[in-house]
Chains A and B, each alone.
Chain A
């Protein structure tokens, strides 16, 4: 879809590379720039982590600590639509590669700066990983059991959310540029992105500071054990008809018309009993039976799937959303595709993650117009390195 869009990608680790991977999946030409500063462990081109987040991208090397490398970068900026970086706020300025400097080379440039807390404010220089943001946004405390220490998401969700907002805002800024001729410097805060997705409860906290924060869509809702070690099914009862059907199904018909249970708020008061009753029924049954019987009653229900379940999930397979690739050195690798499907087209083949500097020749000679001698000279002097 995004033909003709060129992105210079200075990002590293996760949130930034996830954003540029999605842009690349959507058809943009993403040129990843690696240097000594970025090729540490998560950015080792051979690692599984790197290979996952950096498919479909081109890669060049530039030692931006050197002035001549920065001059090359500015020349490349003149040929690009977007520059994306997720360094801490001082880094680009220290290199004299701030937005104000880069627009001298591309006046309508879109620059996306992704950081933990934004480019301004008292916390702007604080270090943040995903869990940092989970804790400070309220996500950790809310994703917890009431009587247990706080847990939070079991993966770096905030990083992914920031990446998604990054892509959305870059696309919006590109449209703005096409209509007005103006570029933008986008200062995206991962902290604000995560808080955005908790807005209903932040608004509720403003009105009711001591509220019990609840995101449920009905009651009972939650996970219940099924046959097998650490196997669970999730379900949500959304209305009274479903509640009655559930009671009959699990052998608690006396509850079906009991006024003590006829409203979700009342059922919340009896949550332990209800959970025990459902578990007594479900734990002797295989998950397929539990899900089928509940779905037949119109009750939302599903298997709690782990990674092995996911790669064998027929629903994902049939839609080519999780694709198996055979690698000569690793065996089968399961790749998640961009979940947006356009015109039911079969997905295009994914290009593997690049090796270090793999596209130096294409970018510096074909795009920038360096001669082979110039390229070799820059490499020799470790400017392209």
Chain B
């Protein structure tokens, strides 16, 4: 029997929403789209406003292999899950009054261009908020709307660099590197979604909308954890330390089937006793090592001895041992191994479902929390460009079918 699109293989999604179905127009580019995904997960109605042929990020791989003309990249899916899509060509003058009508209808507009792009079209915040005083406009740009770098081209690679993340990541013997996974786009999506919820709360109490701005670089700087603390209080400029932890607490060591993260110095006597029982302790049982300063000074030797021991163990063995010892130890795993994590499976973190009537399934995650035991997550689908034009322009904005035809003929939608 052929599967039906949306048929679930494992872990049904929830229909529980946390927030009201706020009407959110999402003009964000691929750097700013994650905010809308989060709000869709929480229960908002998020409508992606795209150029007629769909956004450029639909065309960047890697792709799900689902039909010869499929465009969905994994990144595009991740940041657009659960959204609807309409098209509108905002380069055409006759589209601008349509957008003004949309801005009256909307609760929130998310966008990622500089203010003058909208002002030139008579669609600046001043104008839109006169039409709709409760409107919340969220502007997400690489560096904000003013300052010497406001017009700089940016990617996650360069934002992570300007934001201080790259300087402290990587092997000291190699060039520095950013965090994997376009994290600056996602961190800023979290900050923007937080700002929008705070603004909605403010509006509920005061009736007033707000224009909120977020710089991707500032968001990257805001999650640097110890880097500025060390600068301020130890007058130290943090550097990349490779596998050596920035506080000396952790070490990554090789084992039989990969690598393992452990804490060599946290419970010294227990660890060395364990090694001694397996005749693997070398000189580490020497009382001199009971002095923490001495241990740190001998760090390289300590790690050599430990590595000789870990090389005789599998990650699973060490992970179990870490649990028994109540240590923050961890296996270094690959993405495929994460999918098989017993902890994630026990908490139904992944939903696997059929995307269409082939036998291909896709996986999505729910929000990373349970809410009084229940899961919350948004829709299963990523819309094609303009999929919801009919529903939106006719039923939500109130245009007539004849007007809709005219818009199409004029290349507006």
In the assembled complex, the Cα of A222 lies from the Cα of B202 at a distance in Å of 42
Q: Does A316 touch B at the CB level, under 8 Å?
A: yes
In the assembled complex, the Cα of A342 lies from the Cα of B139 at a distance in Å of 10
Indicate if the CB atoms of A140 and B363 lie closer than 8 Å: no
Interface residues of A in 101-126 (CB under 8 A from B): 117-126
Q: Which of the segments B89-97, B275-283, B284-292, B323-331 contacts the partner chain? A: B323-331
In the assembled complex, the Cα of A4 lies from the Cα of B228 at a distance in Å of 31
Q: Does B394 touch A at the CB level, under 8 Å?
A: no
Indicate if the CB atoms of B171 and A52 lie closer than 8 Å: no
Given contacts A157-B223, A306-B164, are A203 and B198 in contact (CB under 8 A)? no
Given contacts A148-B171, A150-B252, are A122 and B148 in contact (CB under 8 A)? no
Q: Does B190 touch A at the CB level, under 8 Å?
A: yes
In the assembled complex, the Cα of A101 lies from the Cα of B364 at a distance in Å of 34
Min CB–CB distance B316 → chain A (angstroms): 13
Q: Does A209 touch B at the CB level, under 8 Å?
A: yes
Indicate if the CB atoms of A222 and B175 lie closer than 8 Å: yes
Given contacts A206-B339, A339-B214, are A236 and B158 in contact (CB under 8 A)? yes
Closest B residue to A143 using CB positions: B180
Min CB–CB distance A230 → chain B (angstroms): 8
Indicate if the CB atoms of A168 and B225 lie closer than 8 Å: no
Indicate if the CB atoms of B143 and A315 lie closer than 8 Å: yes
Q: Does B384 touch A at the CB level, under 8 Å?
A: no
Interface residues of B in 347-406 (CB under 8 A from A): 347, 349-350, 352, 360-365, 367-373
In the assembled complex, the Cα of A2 lies from the Cα of B194 at a distance in Å of 11
In the assembled complex, the Cα of A330 lies from the Cα of B360 at a distance in Å of 60
In the assembled complex, the Cα of A145 lies from the Cα of B331 at a distance in Å of 18
Indicate if the CB atoms of B178 and A234 lie closer than 8 Å: yes
Closest B residue to A206 using CB positions: B363
Indicate if the CB atoms of B161 and A234 lie closer than 8 Å: yes
Q: Which residues of A contact B245 (CB under 8 A)?
A: 131
Min CB–CB distance B368 → chain A (angstroms): 3
In the assembled complex, the Cα of A217 lies from the Cα of B158 at a distance in Å of 11
How many residue-residue contacts, CB under 8 A, span A and B?
461
Q: Which residues of B contact A172 (CB under 8 A)?
A: 18-19, 42, 197
Query: Interface readout for A147-186 with B: 1 if CB under 8 Å, 0 if not?
Result: 0111111111101110011011101111110110000111
Q: Does B12 touch A at the CB level, under 8 Å?
A: no
Closest A residue to B65 using CB positions: A207
In the assembled complex, the Cα of A136 lies from the Cα of B335 at a distance in Å of 9
In the assembled complex, the Cα of A330 lies from the Cα of B144 at a distance in Å of 31
Q: Which residues of B contact A378 (CB under 8 A)?
A: none
Q: Which residues of A contact B222 (CB under 8 A)?
A: 336, 338-339
Closest A residue to B79 using CB positions: A200
Indicate if the CB atoms of B78 and A142 lie closer than 8 Å: no
Indicate if the CB atoms of B187 and A164 lie closer than 8 Å: yes
Q: Does B105 touch A at the CB level, under 8 Å?
A: no
Q: Does B261 touch A at the CB level, under 8 Å?
A: yes
Interface residues of B in 191-244 (CB under 8 A from A): 191-195, 197-202, 204-205, 210-215, 217-219, 221-234, 237-243
Q: Which of the segments B45-53, B106-114, B149-157, B294-302 contacts the partner chain? A: B149-157
Q: Does B134 touch A at the CB level, under 8 Å?
A: no
Q: Which residues of A contact B156 (CB under 8 A)?
A: 215, 217
Indicate if the CB atoms of A121 and B226 lie closer than 8 Å: no
In the assembled complex, the Cα of A35 lies from the Cα of B135 at a distance in Å of 44
Indicate if the CB atoms of B164 and A150 lie closer than 8 Å: no
Q: Does B305 touch A at the CB level, under 8 Å?
A: no
Interface residues of A in 331-375 (CB under 8 A from B): 333-334, 336, 338-344
Given contacts A168-B38, A300-B158, A303-B161, are A149 and B252 in contact (CB under 8 A)? yes
Indicate if the CB atoms of B218 and A155 lie closer than 8 Å: no
Indicate if the CB atoms of B243 and A225 lie closer than 8 Å: no
Q: Which residues of B contact A233 (CB under 8 A)?
A: 161
Query: Interface readout for A182-209 with B: 1 if CB under 8 Å, 0 if not?
Result: 0011111101110111111111111101
Indicate if the CB atoms of B338 and A156 lie closer than 8 Å: no
Q: Does A64 touch B at the CB level, under 8 Å?
A: no
Min CB–CB distance B55 → chain A (angstroms): 14
In the assembled complex, the Cα of A121 lies from the Cα of B349 at a distance in Å of 11
Q: Does B409 touch A at the CB level, under 8 Å?
A: no
Q: Does A286 touch B at the CB level, under 8 Å?
A: no
Q: Does B308 touch A at the CB level, under 8 Å?
A: no
Q: Which of the segments A68-76, A89-97, A248-256, A318-326 contacts the partner chain? A: A318-326
Indicate if the CB atoms of A298 and B329 lie closer than 8 Å: no
Min CB–CB distance B365 → chain A (angstroms): 5
In the assembled complex, the Cα of A165 lies from the Cα of B65 at a distance in Å of 31
In the assembled complex, the Cα of A120 lies from the Cα of B330 at a distance in Å of 18
In the assembled complex, the Cα of A184 lies from the Cα of B165 at a distance in Å of 35
In the assembled complex, the Cα of A207 lies from the Cα of B363 at a distance in Å of 9
Indicate if the CB atoms of A150 and B259 lie closer than 8 Å: yes
In the assembled complex, the Cα of A319 lies from the Cα of B7 at a distance in Å of 49
Partner of A223, one of B176, B323, B329, B338: B176
Indicate if the CB atoms of B171 and A222 lie closer than 8 Å: no
Q: Does A285 touch B at the CB level, under 8 Å?
A: no
Min CB–CB distance A227 → chain B (angstroms): 15
Contacts beyond the supplied A164-B187, A222-B177: 20 A-B pairs with Cβ under 8 Å: A49-B233, A117-B343, A129-B249, A149-B259, A154-B167, A154-B168, A155-B168, A157-B183, A169-B371, A191-B368, A193-B368, A207-B65, A222-B175, A306-B164, A310-B221, A311-B231, A336-B221, A339-B218, A341-B213, A342-B212
The 18 sampled A-B contact pairs (Cβ below 8 Å) are A120-B370, A131-B249, A149-B243, A154-B168, A174-B201, A192-B368, A199-B365, A202-B335, A203-B363, A205-B336, A238-B155, A300-B158, A305-B164, A315-B148, A330-B233, A336-B221, A338-B191, A340-B198
Residues of B within 8 A of A (CB): 18-20, 38, 42, 60, 62, 64-65, 73-75, 77-78, 143-144, 146-149, 152-171, 174-183, 186-188, 190-195, 197-202, 204-205, 210-215, 217-219, 221-234, 237-243, 245-246, 249-250, 252, 254, 259, 261, 322-323, 326-339, 341-344, 346-347, 349-350, 352, 360-365, 367-373
